[in-house]
């Protein structure tokens, strides 16, 4: 029958794997490996996860598996430490190793430690001065130790405006403005950006009022003042 010829042709094509199917347009984003998310701390402990560690530790204790008991207890201790935002004193980051790891990043002009916890990174342009670049810096530091002990400050080495000259800082594992336990926020700018913004707003408001035309009553009151 004539209708069986197309079916036979398709069947033989599939069996021989000789049919050429046009591939969809290449999307470079589809082949790119998604970068792992940076580590985060400060979230509450997961009750289900904690209960699982407790149950596993009890079973291990009954069966005499001391290694499993120790592993589950250490896991709960680690979860509690991260929930408390307490840096791991047993995994400090070597300053020189950190500088060497960050210095090779695209957009980095220089790297310097302000103290044991605050790292200043000078970048080559405003496009690198954002929280995503802080995440990238912190991910470079993760293999070296606990990044919860590090606050990264970005400063544009080539600012075009006063706002671009302000530094941008954040703890590697916390939200902007949050600090790790036993640490305090450090100001790296000579003038607080918030104070400078308020001063700039007051100045612009004063200029706007000065440029506003005087009301008729105000002009009359000024003209009524006798000359000395």
Q: Residues 206-217: pLDDT tens digits?
A: 667 666 665 566
Residue 148's pLDDT is: 97
Average pLDDT over the chain reads: 80
- Cα separation, 81 vs 89, in Å, equals 11
For the stretch 108-165, pLDDT in tens is 999 999 999 999 999 999 999 999 999 999 999 999 999 999 999 999 999 988 888 8
Q: Pick from 173, 138, 39, 147: which is nearest to 91 by CA?
A: 147
For the stretch 32-76, pLDDT in tens is 345 577 789 988 999 999 999 999 999 999 999 999 999 999 999
Residue 169, classed as helix, strand or coil, is: strand
Model pTM?
Answer: 0.66
- The yes or no reply on domain 95-195 and CATH 1.20.1740 is no
Residue 187's pLDDT is: 86
217: number of Cβ within 10 Å: 8
Q: State the average pLDDT over residues 178-182.
A: 92
List the helix and strand counts (H, then E) for the chain: 9, 4
Q: Pick from 88, 153, 93, 79: which is nearest to 122 by CA?
A: 153
Residue 213's pLDDT is: 63
Quick one: pLDDT band at residue 19, thresholds 50, 70, 90?
very low
């Amino acid at each position: 029958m004539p209708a069986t010829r197309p079916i036979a042709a398709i069947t033989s094509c599939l069996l021989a794997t000789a049919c050429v199917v046009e591939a969809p347009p290449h999307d470079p984003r589809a082949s790119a490996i998604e970068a792992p998310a940076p580590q985060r701390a400060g979230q509450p402990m997961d009750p289900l996860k904690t209960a699982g560690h407790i149950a596993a530790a009890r079973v291990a204790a009954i069966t005499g598996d001391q290694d499993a008991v120790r592993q589950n207890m250490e896991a709960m201790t680690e979860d509690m430490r991260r929930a408390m935002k307490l840096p791991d004193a047993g995994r400090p980051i070597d300053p020189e190793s950190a500088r060497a790891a960050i210095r090779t990043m695209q957009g980095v002009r220089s790297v310097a430690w302000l103290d044991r916890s605050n790292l200043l990174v000078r970048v080559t342009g405003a496009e690198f001065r954002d929280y995503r670049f802080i995440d990238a810096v912190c991910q470079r530091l993760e293999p070296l130790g606990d990044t919860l002990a590090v606050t990264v400050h970005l400063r544009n080495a080539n600012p075009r405006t006063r706002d671009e000259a302000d530094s941008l800082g954040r703890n590697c594992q916390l939200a902007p403005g949050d600090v790790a336990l036993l640490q305090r926020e450090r100001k790296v700018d000579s003038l607080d950006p918030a104070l400078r913004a308020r001063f700039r707003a007051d100045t612009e408001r004063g200029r706007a009022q000065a440029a506003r035309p005087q009301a008729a009553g105000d002009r009359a009151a000024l003209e009524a003042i006798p000359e000395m």
